[in-house]
Every structure is written in structure tokens, then in C-alpha cells.
Amino acid sequence: MEIDRRAFFSGLGGAAAVALMTDEARADALEHHLMAQAAAPATYPTAAELEAQIDTRTSRRGAGNLFVAGTGNVKRLAPLPAAPTLADYFNLRFMATSNHCLQSANRALKNGMSEEIILACLLHDTVQDLIKVDHGWWGAQLYEPYVSDKVIFAIRYHQALRFYPDKEHGYEYPDIYRRMFGSDYTPEPYIERTYQMVRKHKWYLEPRMVTVNDLYAFEPNVHPTLEQFTDIIGRNFRQPRDGLGFDNSPVAHMWRSVAMPDHPL
Ligand SMILES: [Fe+2]
Ligand SMILES: [Fe+2]
């Protein structure tokens, strides 16, 4: 059964709260969540019903995780070192997305994917801590100066491919999208056009493999760590000497916005 990771985590007080739980408590919570899910009828809202919820919210669904509290208030963030690395951002800013990305990269590793696909999986949703809307494009831009064109292609287009099943490669339309976008949702024309372009591209399998290894399930006994990927990052990620956010790259301001989201201007 597929687990709605967001619903599961928010039911427990968010990813940070889950991280503080013992393994035993986490396993218990997961079991309760699965039982509740099994008992609940599989009904999904329509796109119109989701649209009608917009003005019942205090924030928009496209806002990044760092800027909105799932429950309660936002948390104080630990300072980053002077020249922050990808690992520093992973540990100190990408708290809401890191587990999902580590699980996806771990699955890609187990499935024998290339280093570029594993890295793309590791990075693919991290930009959602900055901004969620159109996260494939935002994520590709965030990483563009530091990784290969193939990794960028995979990150940019995984977003569009998520809406299109590919049975041959073992990818089905995700149930969680019926909940997130509505049971009758059809992707917008720019997504459809992007899909058609990527489907015919010689690099199609790069983003497709990100979607195949994109893991929404919270696996209770799998705890991948960033250290497993240190060598792959070292070989495939050009860490700037002055630190991400301080290297005067065209995307440095995006990294600074992740580093210091409390700055009012
Ligand atoms: Fe994604
Ligand atoms: Fe994902």
C-alpha cells in the first residue's frame, strides 16, 4: 500500500517530530496510520473541490516548507557555516524533504542506476523547502551551475513525467496525486507539451528513472544517510569554494533564501 507521507508526518507533528521518535514509536505510528488508511474509503476530492479550498487557507500550497508551518509555528533554524556545502543544506535546511530524497536515492542505488540518476534522485525535491510550485524547473535552476546537464534534465522534467504512466518501465500514476490535484485533474497544456518533448528525447530515461525511484512510502526499517552518497556527491557535484549562496553564481540568491528565510527583505 502506498503511504501518504505528508499526511503521516503531519499527523505526528511534522518531519522534525518524527525524527525525534524512537524506532519503536515510529513503527507503532506507521502501523496505526496504515490501519486508518485501510479503513478509510478511497475517495479523492475533485479538482473543483480543491480549488474551493484556496480561500480557506492561511498560505498557498505552492509555498516552500521553510516558509510555512505544517502545524503550530515555524521553528528557529540553526546557523549555517560560513561556506556552506550541499551536506550542510541537507542537514540544516532540507529537513522536510531530505528523508524522501534519501529514500529515493537509496532505491536508485539498489536498482543499479547510474551515478547521475542517483544524484538526481538525491536532489530532485529538495527545492520544495524553498518553493513547491513548478518544483522541477525551480530545482533544476537551483542546481544548474553545479551538476551535469543530464542531472539537470532529470530534475527539471521529473515533475512533468510524474503525471504520465509508463508501464514498460514500471511507473504508474500515483494515488497521492489524486488527493493532491483532484481525482479528475488533467495536467495543464505546458505540462503536456513538456511531456511530449521529453518522451521523444534521447535522455527520456533520466527523468523517467527519477519518477520510478521516487518513493513516497515511508519505509520503517530503511534509514539511508547522506554519508552513503558522499562519494557520488564528490564525483558529480561541483561544490563552490566560497559556499552555496556566496559564490556569486546566478543562483546564489536562491541558496541564500534557503539559508536565511527569516530575512524580511
Ligand atoms: Fe518531485
Ligand atoms: Fe519525489
Q: Give the tens place of pLDDT for each residue, 28-47.
A: 556 555 555 555 557 999 99
Residue 264 within a domain: no
Q: Whole domain around residue 130: which residue ranges?
A: 5-259
Residue 190 within a domain: yes
Q: What pLDDT is recorded for position 86? A: 98
Distance in Å, CA 211 to ligand 2 centroid? 7
Share of the chain above pLDDT 90, in %: 80
Distance in Å, CA 163 to ligand 2 centroid? 12
Distance in Å, CA 134 to ligand 1 centroid? 9
Residue 265 within a domain: no
**Residue 115: enclosing H or E segment and its boundaries?**
helix 115-123
- What is the average pLDDT value for the chain, to the nearest integer? 90
3-class DSSP assignment, residue 225:
coil
Ligand found nearest the CA of 154 = 1
Residue 150 within a domain: yes
Q: Taking the CB of residue 128, how many other CB atoms lie within 10 A of it?
A: 22
Count of domains observed in the chain: 1
Q: Is the pLDDT of residue 247 over 80?
A: yes
Q: Give the tens place of pLDDT for each residue, 161-207.
A: 999 999 999 999 999 999 999 999 999 999 999 999 999 999 999 99
What residues does the ion ligand 1 have nearby, CB within 5 Å? 125
Ligand found nearest the CA of 105 = 2
**Which ranges of 45-201 does DSSP label H, i.e. alpha helix?**
47-52, 86-92, 95-110, 115-123, 135-143, 149-161, 175-181, 189-199
Residue 191 within a domain: yes
Q: What pLDDT is recorded for position 5? A: 61
